[in-house]
Amino acid sequence: MANLYRGRNQIMSFRISIPPNRRAALRLLSSVRQQLLAALASETDASGRTQADIARELGVNRSVISRFLSGSRDMMVGNLAEVAWALDREVAITLGEAGSGIKSRDIAAEAVPATVMVNASEEAEKYGAEVYRMETSVSGLTVQLAMSPTPASQSSPTGNPVFLAGE
Amino acid sequence: MATLTELQERGRLEEVEDISLVPGQKRRELYIMVPEASDDVRRVVGRYTATWNPSLSISDQMVQLFHDFISGKSLHHPEDFHVLLEVEDGIWELKTDDVRFFGWFPDKDNFVIATVGYADMVKDGKYASFISTALFRRKDLALNDGKFIQGEEPNNVISHFHTA
């Protein structure tokens, strides 16, 4: 529901309130989108393959790929892996330990932002991967999404077994 | 001539806030006309259901778009879905699968939302009407004496359209 948030200063600000778990999901989708677009651009530059080629390889309509690559759909992790494969990428997702400084769950009431960090870890650089790390202030989960252009080992960049992120 | 700050102080404009961004992560600014466009948002959120992208609610789609815009992320979408499109006389359409925002850029990387519509309604013969509404509201607000960024390509109005 859209709420008019009364900021602490005289000048008002506008915000749409959604549950913090939804906000965390949207942040991850946004990150996935950025990576998929970058991967497609890189692949097109390198090999000339287009969205249509990707769709053909996966046996789906081009509009399906467009939606995946736009990141506006809440795709299943398996589908993400298939699209990544078609882009000559591999995906590794790990759940890390909860971050420090966990804030109140009720961030709709308090203007306390969730911590969002985007960086490349040293480990990921070793594998030529890009790692995006996002901490949520509610679930305490750290989700790392690594998309590597090189053939990945069976384990994640951290050496731990790869398993799927959950809610 | 009314500036952004003056219009905010008068309560005619509000800056759209993204609480997930820490200081330093904001790359662009998004404003919404009050009460015109803020009422539009409430109506669209309260009355309609996402149909073109049912995996994300109307609110989710708005929040995600606001986040991507304000944080400076790439708004480029592959081939057939233009998230940002110039429509007429400096009025731009910023959109999600199910929502359409019409407004203008008084400065580069600053967007003012003038009116908001549910996609299916906009597509149902109301497109010109939304554009007219946006043109009227821009003139009525008189921000910077109605000046706006000219240009037809997204790169004319925002930075890093293709790359984050």
Q: Which of B8, B41, B43, B63 to mutate to test the interface with A (most CBs of A within 10 A)?
A: B63
The pLDDT of B139-146, averaged and rounded, is 89
pLDDT score of A113 more than 60 = no
- The number of beta carbons lying within 10 Å of the beta carbon of residue B108 is 14
**Cβ-Cβ contacts under 8 Å, B5 against chain A:** 11
Q: Which single residue is written with the structure tokens 């009314």?
A: B2
**Cβ-Cβ contacts under 8 Å, A37 against chain B:** 74, 76-78
pLDDT score of B87 more than 90 = yes
Chain B nearest CA to A93, separation (Å)? 21
> What are the pLDDT digits (tens) for B5-45?
999 999 999 999 998 888 788 999 999 999 999 999 999 99
What is d(CA A69, CA A37) in angstroms, rounded to the nearest whole number? Answer: 6
What's the half-sphere exposure (Cβ side, CA atoms, 13 Å) at A78? 0
What is d(CA B44, CA B62) in angstroms, rounded to the nearest whole number? Answer: 11
Can you name the residues that pair with A89 across neighbouring β-strands? none
Would you say B148 and B138 are in contact if contact means Cβ atoms under 8 Å apart? yes
Closest Cα to residue B98, out of B87, B83, B86?
B83
- For every residue of A62-73, DSSP letters joined together read HHHHHHHHHT-S
Buried b / exposed e along A112-125 (16+ C-beta atoms within 10 A): ebbbbeeeebeebe
> What are the pLDDT digits (tens) for A55-110?
999 999 888 888 777 666 777 888 889 989 998 898 888 877 755 333 333 333 33
Strand, helix or coil for residue A142: strand
What are the angstrom distances between the C-alpha of B149 and each of A59, A88, B106, B144?
43, 40, 6, 11
Say whether the ipTM exceeds 0.95. no
- pLDDT confidence of residue A105: 35
Would you say A116 and A27 are in contact if contact means Cβ atoms under 8 Å apart? yes
**Cβ-Cβ contacts under 8 Å, B41 against chain A:** 2, 16
